[in-house]
Chain A
């Protein structure tokens, strides 16, 4: 019976983020937070595995003190217990720092057969944390997984790669990152939502992880973030006939290097 751990990120809901038309800066003042989309798939997959084979699912998250708002949400989706690490300023953490913190916490928690992550986060989608985490823990890593099955102590994972699928078999402990095609996350029933308050959560203090200060220093820094807005050139071709208009269009596209 697999012992599963799901790592998730508490992130802003991109649907609530507004782009300021004047300077393309992002207004997040009214944005609600949510569990990152692919991480919901990871939580669902771990829950499905345990519903089918038995075992257990715990969840783990690292973020700003706002991460505490995620606890009931994640517990309503299946995990029996959630561990959380809050650090002021964690919004500047890159995948290097995040993986260091998560790996240290997992070493502290003990061994898991299956460590599941979303392939990338909804906000930055760097797709680095799962592989960095596996490297730090010295575990195999299977990425881009769209189908997963557990057969005894063997895990069979179907990977979506560029133009084909690839099947990998691996024995735990292993880190697996999943795509959103793998399942459809459940909508928690209202009794599950209310029952989440009765499930345990435990804070892990970052100071107790034994990390060196340099492990908490991001390797990359975000200078600025701007919204992407499609700007139309609004060119109207007014040639004498359709063929001439098409020729003009083709030459314009060629000038842009588009054909």
Chain B
């Protein structure tokens, strides 16, 4: 057993860190303040192959593998998790279309998504308790030559800037659990994006509801098989949850390093505060949590790369980080005291971003069901 990145994976991680230092560090605080979508950075991400990192060469991707993807997401998140979140959402869209889309859908969308020419969004959630159940659930009614979509998708990331939406709808009202995937162009008549939600964190990554008012789509817009969309949702969200784990580890690592720097520099009672045991405990526990989370993170990523079952490990990672991600930020903020609480320091932004990372896409309690089901 060897827990070490390969040479290529290490170089990709280093490239991502270099990219983050050059392009993300200078703008991360501004993105958090303005909430503007970083169009120019997305172009640079594409230019450096980050948007197609996970996809094979025949799709135009870098074919770097899932471990490299996770290493890159962690490295980007150390500077700006909002941008990492945009990359993750772009990856969810391109992954779903590449794996389940028809040849026409792949041809139309995958290469432009990889090149950053278009933005993708993966829209699953609704205002009801679960997709398919609720007054405004997205339905797809069969009509000649295609379907008519009606309903609302909630909390869609990349909403408003996305050119293409991967959405899931009920095609059989008698069977609301059976979802069908559709690929919908943002210019489709009747597709409307609601007001942008003012979110707590990940502010450069827009979140809004997407309303479908009798949006007609052709038969060819179906992703995979009719009524088999839940398989696409489950697998794509499980992969995304590992990437969100990478975001959390990246944010946590930055918080620990910043707090450690503060503990070295800040002198109280004639000594750096890092020499006090109470401060050492906060830093030691935070570093330990990051270390253990990273082991679980890369173990889950390696399972994906090896084509082995990974859903339980991904769920355990998500559950672990939901509990410890915020604790790392609380403890590192405590190390920095009043200075850490100030918006002039990065800890408040990291705090907001880690909350967004843990809450969006899969609520913190969702993974427990997956884990419980794996226990005989």
Partner-B contacts on A (CB < 8 A): 69, 72-73, 76, 187-191, 193-194, 196-197
Contact = CB atoms under 8 A, between A and B. Distances in A.
Contact of A187 (B8, B48, B62, B68): B48
A76 B7 CA distance: 12
Contact of B8 (A69, A189, A197): A197
A190 B7 contact: no
B22 A194 contact: no
Contacts of A196: 11
Contacts of A191: 49, 62
Contacts of A72: 7-8, 11
A76 B49 CA distance: 14
B18 A193 contact: no
B47 A193 contact: no
B19 to A, nearest CB: 5
B11 A73 contact: yes
Given A187-B48, A189-B48, A76 B18 contact: no
Given A190-B49, A194-B8, 9 more contacts: A72-B7, A187-B18, A187-B19, A189-B15, A189-B47, A190-B12, A191-B49, A193-B8, A193-B64
B11 to A, nearest CB: 5
Contacts of A73: 11, 14
B10 to A, nearest CB: 9
B109 interface: no
Interface of B: 7-8, 11-12, 14-15, 18-19, 22, 47-50, 53, 62-64, 68, 72
Nearest to B10: A32
A194 B15 contact: no
A187 B53 CA distance: 15
A76 B48 CA distance: 12
Contacts of A194: 8, 12, 62-64
A189 B49 contact: yes
A189 to B, nearest CB: 5
A190 B64 contact: yes
A188 B269 CA distance: 47
6 contacts: A69-B7, A73-B11, A187-B18, A191-B62, A193-B11, A193-B64
A123 to B, nearest CB: 18
Contacts of B50: 190
A73 B8 CA distance: 9
A73 B22 CA distance: 18
A148 B62 CA distance: 33
A69 B11 CA distance: 11
Nearest to B72: A190
